[in-house]
Amino acid sequence: MSRPDPHSYFDPGQPRTRRLDLALDVDFARRVLAGRVVLDLGGPSQGPLDLDTKGLTVGFVRTGDGKSVPFSLAAEEPILGCRLRLELPPGTAAVEIAYETAPDSAALQWLEPAQTEGKRHPFLFSQNQSINARAMMPCQDSPYVRAPYRAEVTLPEALGAVMSAGPAGTRPGLEPGTRRWLFEMPQPIPSYLLALAVGDLASRDLSPRSRVWAEPATVEQAAWEFAGVERMIATAEGLFGPYLWERYDMLVLPPSFPYGGMENPRMTFLTPTLLAGDRSLVDVVAHELAHSWTGNLVTNATMEHFWLNEGFTVWAERRIVEALHGEEATALAWAIGQNALDESVARFGKDSPLTRLRTEMTGVDPDDAYSSIPYEKGARFVALLERTVGRERFGRFIQAYLGRFRFTSITTEDFTAFLDEQLPGVGAQVGARAWLYEVGMPDNAPVFRSAELEALTALAEGFEGGGRPTPAQVSAWAPAEMLIYLQHLPRELGADACAWLDTNLKLTGRGNHEILVEWLTIAVGSDYEPVFGRVREVLSRVGRMKYLRPLYGALGRHARTRALARDIYAAARPGYHALSRRVIESVMEKYRDD
Ligand code: BES
Ligand code: ZN
């Protein structure tokens, strides 16, 4: 037995899943998915087959031709879950496993109607990255394993379903009042990209190959916000080559969705907090779209190589943003990223092993290691390579990289071998080894300057000395400029300063959650009571971890706001995703005792 992925029981010496067929019933009353998965092994196989599971109840296991397969479900291990070992009789070409998910499955969030926009129907969504596909179905839950899949999902007639796959029609369900939705994903994908959402869904076409799905109450707003997606796809194709997944659809989820976006192939999942009403947050769409090349075509082999997914994607996202909005806007995006990077390095400590790009994660839960480091340090490394060889040559390199590794899963070492082959000497020239394997930030990190950026930071740094932006300056700011200004203000201000900011920058009422949350973080960190109501409202509705961490963190500064945080959390907890709860609890554990 040799296991190349510290987060999976996948054993490359055993048969591999070549296709996956799911047949699931969505049971909102019991909060379970119940049904079967067929793992096609691509040919006659035998002997042990280890699968990952988490919280699953296994009914029967049998071969494709109906013979029963002996199996044992091991005791639960922290992080990994339960190994399901099958003993395949000789000649087994496929196995069928009947199973049910747990009501508190780590992969699924079941929402009450009250947690949706329409308030009338329940909602279900999955989030399998990093290692939760095993809480949705028994599988070889390592990105080393890629397989096409088919699914048929039975749900209440009033609801609709989407998956990270092409729609293949619907049929009446066996039970009255139900309907079966069919899906087909012909390209081989890792298990973390399998996704399902069920709810009261409507859609609007944005282009011949793109549409947006959302609850009926938000679908128009979503169609307006993301109207530019076809231009984005075309721009990305110009940079990275043809889009190979046929359709690029998006789903706007209810606000408890714990991420900004998730690059489920053919169906990006998005937080509704992107619906700012001014199209200012569509860089998240550029990011998830860019994963169609970096991440979904060329995939990290394990979470120890996560930077290959996210670092390349942040770099690619900013190339798209630059092509669409110019260099000045892109410099601001890099500056916002720098702020996130500094925060993450400070949170872990600059000598923490988690500041490496290539990480070692035996015994480490990927959710605990999550930070901006693989994103922003990774993107800076890619940008450094690009600057070193020049845009044209790097463009050819990227296309060659995507061509060589498309539909495969690779390690950091696969990447560096390819780099050395294609751009000999460049790795050594930029200090690739230190970038990839050492802690902290190397001192040859590229710097992204712009006059606008310098003016904004200087203005913010002058705030304590009495410097204030003029009304004309404020009204000329784009949302990103307002955000950068706020990010460079002191974390704690007096009540008069807070009042000045709120009056002149009109912050508390904003719908742009990047600006709103940055402001509320300063305001609650300053114990500024006039925002407490708005903070409660935001924290009770929004489950995006990017916002929960700083807000609950800043609420920890003062006794009065700690009490407020505990009170808000007690009420909001049932509505949070399990991932969000974990983040909040880890933040609140560090609160000083009152
Ligand atoms: N793939 C990630 C989200 C993710 C990472 C989920 C790790 C689970 C484990 C997605 O592409 C992402 O990076 N989302 C960002 C958006 C961004 C950087 C523009 C987010 O959610 O904030
Ligand atoms: Zn990403």
Distance 122 CA to ligand 2 centre (A): 28
Tracing tokens 């998730």 back to the chain, one arrives at 262
- List, in sequence order, every beta strand (DSSP E) within 101-209: 108-111, 123-126, 146-156, 160-163, 166-172, 178-190, 196-199, 202-207
Ligand 1: which residue has its CA nearest to atom 2?
Answer: 262
Q: Mean pLDDT, the chain, as a whole number? A: 98
The pLDDT tens digits of the residues spanning 543-588 come to: 999 999 999 999 999 999 999 999 999 999 999 999 999 999 999 9
Distance 193 CA to ligand 2 centre (A): 12
The pLDDT tens digits of the residues spanning 342-377 come to: 999 999 999 999 999 999 999 999 999 999 999 999
Q: Which residues contact 569 (CB under 8 A, 6 or more apart)?
A: 539, 552, 584, 588
Ligand 1 atom having least distance to the Cα of 546: 22
Cα dist from 398 to 391, 403, 415, 543, whole Å: 10, 8, 11, 35
Q: Is the C-beta atom of 448 inside 6 A of ligand 1?
A: no
d(CA 128, CA 310): 16
pLDDT over 80 (residue 594)? no
Cα dist from 72 to 51, 79, 82, 101, 392, whole Å: 11, 19, 10, 17, 55
Tracing tokens 């139900």 back to the chain, one arrives at 178
Give the global pTM: 0.99
The pLDDT tens digits of the residues spanning 292-320 come to: 999 999 999 999 999 999 999 999 999 99
Q: Is the C-beta atom of 337 inside 6 A of ligand 1?
A: no
- Per-residue exposure over 469-488, b if at least 16 CB sit within 10 Å of its own CB, e if not: beeeeeeebebbbbbbbbbb
Q: What is the structure's pLDDT at 592?
A: 86
Which of 414, 413, 410, 416 lies closest to 190 in space, CA to CA? 410
Give, for ligand 1, the residue of 310, 313, 375, 582 to mutate: max count of ligand atoms closer than 8 Å to Cβ. 310
246 alpha-carbon distance from chain centroid: 21
Give, for ligand 1, the residue of 287, 309, 314, 330 to mutate: max count of ligand atoms closer than 8 Å to Cβ. 287
Q: Is the C-beta atom of 260 inside 6 A of ligand 1?
A: yes
Cα-flanking dihedrals φ and ψ of residue 164, to 5°? -80, 65
CB atoms within 10 A of CB 85: 16
Mean pLDDT value of segment 415-437: 98
d(CA 260, CA 275): 11
Mean pLDDT value of segment 369-398: 98
Ligand 1 atom having least distance to the Cα of 367: 9
Q: What is the structure's pLDDT at 1?
A: 63
Ligand 1: which residue has its CA nearest to atom 14?
Answer: 261
The pLDDT tens digits of the residues spanning 51-71 come to: 999 999 999 999 999 999 999
Which of 344, 272, 343, 282 lies closest to 317 in space, CA to CA? 282
Q: Is the C-beta atom of 302 inside 6 A of ligand 1?
A: no
SS3 513: helix
Catalytic positions, please?
A: 288, 375
Distance 94 CA to ligand 2 centre (A): 33
Ligand 1: which residue has its CA nearest to atom 10?
Answer: 262
The pLDDT tens digits of the residues spanning 484-541 come to: 999 999 999 999 999 999 999 999 999 999 999 999 999 999 999 999 999 999 999 9
Which of 460, 515, 536 lies closest to 493 in space, CA to CA? 460
Q: Is the C-beta atom of 294 inside 6 A of ligand 1?
A: no
Q: Is the C-beta atom of 264 inside 6 A of ligand 1?
A: no
Ligand 1 atom having least distance to the Cα of 314: 18
Mean pLDDT value of segment 127-132: 98
Q: Give 365: exposed, middle or buried? Use CB within 10 Å, 0-12, 13-18, 19+.
A: middle
Element (H, E) at 579: helix 578-589
d(CA 382, CA 416): 12
Q: What is the structure's pLDDT at 2?
A: 82
Distance 385 CA to ligand 1 centre (A): 23
Cα-flanking dihedrals φ and ψ of residue 172, to 5°? -60, 145
Ligand 1: which residue has its CA nearest to atom 6?
Answer: 129
